[in-house]
Structure 1
Amino acid sequence: MTTATLSSATRSSQRSRVIRNVLRRPSAATAAGFVAVLVLFAVFGPLISPHDPDAQDLGNRFAELSWSHLLGTDEFGRDVASRIIQASRIALVAPLISVGVALLIGLPFGLWAGLRRGVVDAVAGRLADTVLSLPAMVGALAILAVLGPGLVNAMVAIGIIFAPGLFRVVRGATLAVAEETFVHSAVAIGSPTRRTLWVHILPNIAAPLLVQVTILMGVALLAEASLSFIGLGVQPPDASWGSMLKAAYTNQFDAPYSVVPPGIAMVLTVLAFNTIGDAIRDAVGLRRGI
């Protein structure tokens, strides 16, 4: 068996051990189950929804809870439960877009800056400091002013705002790993920089990176809801928990409890992401004996 095969098998074993340690915690297992339910809603929503989420029934506005409408109806007579299920797709897709954009920007620059430093580290570090000095939502609104409203544009803007923080996390972790003996050995035998970064360093910073990603997923969901609340995110008639909160706020005197379903869904989802992130952090610390 080659050294590369042994290394790959060791990393696979370590990942399996971390996953087992995460799922061994009841809170993390519950959070993972909740996210799995959201994924099912997102994938099979049209089959699960009791009604068409966009079908209007103006004669049945603000209906109370019943077997026909488990969570009542909104100002257009649309079934709230069906729209909650439909919005679960946005709740997963939107954070994935923003975190994906942040990874595309922050990960390669953070790896390079942490290993090679020099000009890239200096320039990227100053740019990151500049963006981090700005209020996050103000920066996102400025980018949206250029890109225009819409879900994808909103989450790209949020991803750009997330990128400097992710860059800092990746750079710091890379600086620590770059001082390890195996990295010096790889450089000494002439390993290309690209191979050193993606084969030797990235797997060893995956744990803090994954923790940061799970935290950003929850923050991204709140950011999407905030932008949808003010009309810059998801556009009608598509459902979003943020736009549903906006409708509930507008009609708070006609349906004072309509804020509860999207609010609870959002709180539970953010809590699930954060719980999984905390469990990963603890599991990695347990594996390293911290």
Structure 2
Amino acid sequence: MTTATRRSRPLNVISVIVRRPASAVAVGFVLLLVFLAVAGPLVSPHDPEVQDLGNRFAGLSSTHLLGTDEFGRDVTSRIIQAARIAVTAPLISVGVALLIGLPLGLWAGLRRGVVDAVAGRLADTILSLPALVGALAIVAVLGPGLVNAMLAVGIIFAPGLFRVVRGATLAVAEETFVESAVAIGSSTRRTLWVHILPNIAAPLLVQVTILMGVALLAEASLSFIGLGVQPPDASWGSMLKAAYTNQFDSPFSVVPSGVAMVLTVLAFNTIGDSIRDAVGLRRRT
């Protein structure tokens, strides 16, 4: 296989994903979310933290496109502000899971031995616990806040990611090209990162995109009960909590943050499914 062929594979997968309407829309939505996270203060129609108690629970209008909350703050501006949390929270938790689960899974799948046995038992132990309960226990030790909450979620995600990486590595490690690399004296590090990791990228990317959506739901759950993002910062989870508390005063207030969360999770899942289908199509051809 030539170098040009290896380099063209990711480009072919990307082209297949972009050509599909559903995945193209999902990618566009995620890019819009990233843009709002970066440029939120520039595009927000109002300051998301400025209160106007005389204008509480205002309806939809040209001044407040999505109305106002219980403190008279513009809901549109707070939705845009919360986009930063919707991007950074999954990145923190999935990044922590990758730092823990990826190297352990690669090593356990290739070398097995003591690392595989110990890491496997630890993974089984953590996976046996309800995910949210485990995250709550870790947050209780670390304290509330976005970073601590996402660190806890990342630790909970790590065993599942470890299992996916280990299983894929076990399959790839039996291939002839890996045995040839070991036979000619390639170090374990080179074998893992050069020969195995690129060949398990597809299931890894699918798992990562799915975990991004799950991480967003986990952050919203922790913020809903007051252990995630702390006031006055906006989070879709904390906005849902406020909407739930004031549902009789403003029944519509649950819709903006709820719809934003559903669309974001759906976009991440759609991208993951598209990557899986594109890689499967590439292999058949």
- Whether TM-score is above 0.5 comes out as yes
Residue 140 of structure 2 is aligned to residue 173 of structure 1: no
Query: Matched residues in 2 for 1:146 and 1:36: separation?
Result: 35
| Selected match of 1:237 from 232, 236, 254 | 232
Aligned to 1:123: 118
Task: Give the corresponding residue for 1:136.
Answer: 131
Asked whether 1:223 is paired with 2:231, we answer no
Superposed displacement of residue 231, structure 1? 0.2
Note if 1:98 corresponds to 2:93: yes
Tell me which amino acid in the other structure corresponds to 1:91.
Answer: A
The residue number in structure 2 matching 1:288 is 283
Partner residue of 2:253?
258
- Superposed, which structure 2 residues align to 1:5-44 within 5 Å? 6-7=2-3, 9-44=4-39
Cα distance, 1:211 vs structure 2: 0.2
User: Secondary structure at 1:72's aligned position in 2?
Assistant: coil
| Corresponding residue for residue 162 of structure 1 | 157
- Answer yes or no: is 1:71 the counterpart of 2:66: yes
Supply the distance in 2 between the matched residues of 1:11 and 1:36 (Cα, whole angstroms).
27
Give the whole-Å Cα distance in 2 for the aligned partners of 1:138 and 1:32: 32
Tell me which of 139, 147, 154 is aligned to 2:142. Answer: 147
State the percentage of identical aligned residues: 84
Question: What SS does structure 2 have at the residue aligned with 1:54?
Answer: coil
Measured after TM superposition, the shift of residue 10 of structure 1 is 2.7
How far apart are the structure 2 equivalents of 1:112 and 1:11?
24
Query: Is 1:272 the equivalent of 2:267?
Result: yes
Distance 2:6 2:103 in 1: 21
Distance, in Å, in 2 between the alignment partners of 1:218 and 1:212 is 10
Q: 1:46 aligns with which of 19, 22, 41?
A: 41
Runs of 4+ aligned residues of structure 1 deviating over 6 Å after TM superposition are none
Unpaired segments ≥5 residues, structure 1? none
AA aligned to 1:93 is: T
In structure 1, what is the Cα distance between the partners aligned to 2:258 and 2:7?
39
Cα deviation for residue 139 of structure 1 reads: 0.4
Are residue 198 (structure 1) and residue 193 (structure 2) matched?
yes
Give deviations 1:181-228, integer Å, cap 9, x for gaps: 110000001100000000000000001000000000000000000000
Q: Secondary structure at the match of 1:205?
A: helix
Shift of 1:91: 0.3
Per-residue deviation, 1:24: 1.1
**How much does 1:12 deviate?**
1.8
TM-score normalized by the length of structure 1: 0.97
